[in-house]
Amino acid sequence: MPRSSATDRRFLEKHGGQWRVTVAVPRDLHDRMPTRLKRSLNTDSLAAANRLKWSVIAELKAEIERARGGTLKAKHIQDALEMAEMLRKAKTAEEREAIRDGVMLSSDGMLGPLYYRGEDPDTGEPIYEHNPEREREAGEFVKIALGMSTLVDLHHAAYLESLTVKPRTRADDVRAMKYLKAWCKREGVEPSLQAINRKVAVRFMDALPDLAKGLSPVTLNKYLRRLSRYWQWLERREEVDTNVWHGLTLPEPETPHDAEERPFSDEEMRRLLTGETTQHMHDLMRIAALTGARIDVIVSLKVRDCEGGVFVFKPQKKEKKERITPIHSSIVPIIERRTKGKSPDDDLFPEWPPVKKAGSMRERSFKASNQFTEYRRSVGVDEVIPGKRRSLVNFHSFRRWFITTAERADQPEHIIAAVVGHKRSGMTLGRYSAGPLVEQARRCVEAVKLPALEMEDPQGDDSLSGKDEAA
């Protein structure tokens, strides 16, 4: 049977003839707080105590969260969220009404005293007003506590938890939300899901280049897409009616043909494959050149991923499962040397171990990529043009070189796509070293030949440049 305000004693205890609120402190905070927080309501009426207790409960719970060391929103926002959660969990109409009364009482308390603002020019009567900032906070508190307004980032943490993307993409989500909230504050727009409609979204898009000065339209559109993904997630959960960001993009300047990133030329390949660097860098470059694989999947290979004459690369980009690529005959000696005496779970490239720092946005290949860039520049392989952040040749140029070379060797486009993991339909390679699809892929891989090098290993292993392992 529902509890009435005359019998409900939850969060209440009698002390000195008057009622007070009591809230238990979690055990993990007992070293810095008492086991319970208590606050008098200054009334001997149980019915009155039930009307007054909810705002006090919210304040005490917010105090507990602050002691936990979490990053909190403004106090009135945190209190409002606590009240909204209590209202959501209320079981009876009487309890909901009591919580609403508590919200209004808390709002009145937030307003503070009236201040003299002058005289009415018509009547000469004195004018008293509340502090505008206090009035704004009190209004915000009521709207959030009563569920009339939902903070734009209220569900963002849950959304981020649901993502299966790289840390860098997750960081883009965080930056996009940061820019949106900063713009709302600057423009006086309520940072709530209800306030951000299509017109507001367009205004934000138009202001984004000024808000994020120095960033290219490509990067800014990435932030708009991340906001769109968040709204899609909210729409599926019926938190919003529609995705107001759908189709919103800033115009991107067309890249001239001679300013596009490109494959390495054969002369650049010779410089890279015969230059003075470490053996593991030479191994990495040859595997990249003869598979078309991205740097992170190569550096992340385990010994078990190089068995049966094929590489098993982890999914990247929009791939939904691991990808099989035949091992080119000329890099078999590299694999044999790197796997000899190792267990299946050992790294193929222990020289570039996984990032140890928890929560790091860096991929495992971060250091390998930086080292390659430094080496590439040292052998004179570079092409930087004004207005472009990256050189037109970079590690990804190995991938472009592989695809270009395979096309020139008359390999079928759909087989090349299967080998390098481009989007395709109706074809997949199983995890086997035999079978028609893998054999077609193997012919494609073997059709790609490295350019003749000035220095080749006398034993026929052109994976070695004739140089000793550098430190």
- φ, ψ for residue 156 (rounded to 5)? -65, -40
What pLDDT shows up at residue 90? 78
Which one has a higher pLDDT value, 71 or 264?
264
Among 144, 266, 230, 233, which Cα is nearest to 195's?
144
pLDDT at 274 over 80: yes
Distance CA 244, CA 196 (A): 8
**Cα 462–chain centre separation:** 41
Residue type, 9: R
Lowest mean pLDDT among 88-97, 125-134, 424-433: 424-433
What pLDDT shows up at residue 28? 74
Average pLDDT, the chain: 84
Give the list of residues 6+ apart from residue 308 with CB closer than 8 angstroms, or none: 432, 433
What pLDDT shows up at residue 318? 65
Element holding 40 (H helix, E strand)? strand 36-40
* Cβ neighbourhood burial of 448 (10 Å; 0-12, 13-18, 19+): buried
Share of the chain above pLDDT 70, in %: 87
Distance CA 280, CA 76 (A): 57
Phi-psi region of 10 (alpha: psi -120 to 50; beta: other; left: phi over 0): beta
Distance CA 71, CA 79 (A): 14
Q: Where in the chain is the domain with CATH 1.10.443.10?
A: 261-446
Give the list of residues 6+ apart from residue 358 with CB closer than 8 angstroms, or none: none
Give the three-state DSSP class for 72: coil
pLDDT at 440 over 80: yes
* Cβ neighbourhood burial of 345 (10 Å; 0-12, 13-18, 19+): exposed
Model pLDDT for residues 275-306, shown as the tens digit of each residue: 999 999 999 999 999 999 999 999 999 999 99
Question: Per-residue b/e over 218-249, b at no fewer than 16 CB within 10 Å?
Answer: eebbebbbbbbbbbebbeeeeebeebbbeebe
- The torsion defined by the Cα of 413, 416, 420 and 422, in degrees rounded to 10, comes to 20
- Pull the structure tokens for residue 11: 């969060």
- Band of pLDDT at residue 48, cut at 50, 70 and 90: confident
pTM of the model: 0.57
Among 115, 357, 158, 376, which Cα is nearest to 264's?
376
What pLDDT shows up at residue 454? 59
What pLDDT shows up at residue 3? 53
Bridge-based pairing state of the strands 18-24 and 12-15 = antiparallel
Bridge-based pairing state of the strands 12-15 and 310-313 = unpaired
pLDDT at 388 over 70: yes
Of 1.10.443.10, 3.40.50.2300, 1.10.357.10, 2.102.10.10, the CATH number of 261-446 is 1.10.443.10
Highest mean pLDDT pick, 49-58, 149-158, 196-205: 196-205
Distance CA 458, CA 357 (A): 43
- Pull the structure tokens for residue 50: 């039930």
Give the list of residues 6+ apart from residue 426 with CB closer than 8 angstroms, or none: none
Among 215, 193, 461, which Cα is nearest to 333's?
461
Task: Give bridge partners of residue 129 from the DSSP assignment.
Answer: 115
- The secondary structure of 385-430 as a DSSP string is -TT-SS-SSSTHHHHHHHHHHHHHTT--HHHHHHHHT---SS----
Highest mean pLDDT pick, 50-64, 135-149, 436-450: 436-450
Distance CA 175, CA 157 (A): 13
What pLDDT shows up at residue 339? 96
Model pLDDT for residues 140-168, shown as the tens digit of each residue: 787 777 777 788 888 888 899 888 887 78
- Pull the structure tokens for residue 10: 């939850």
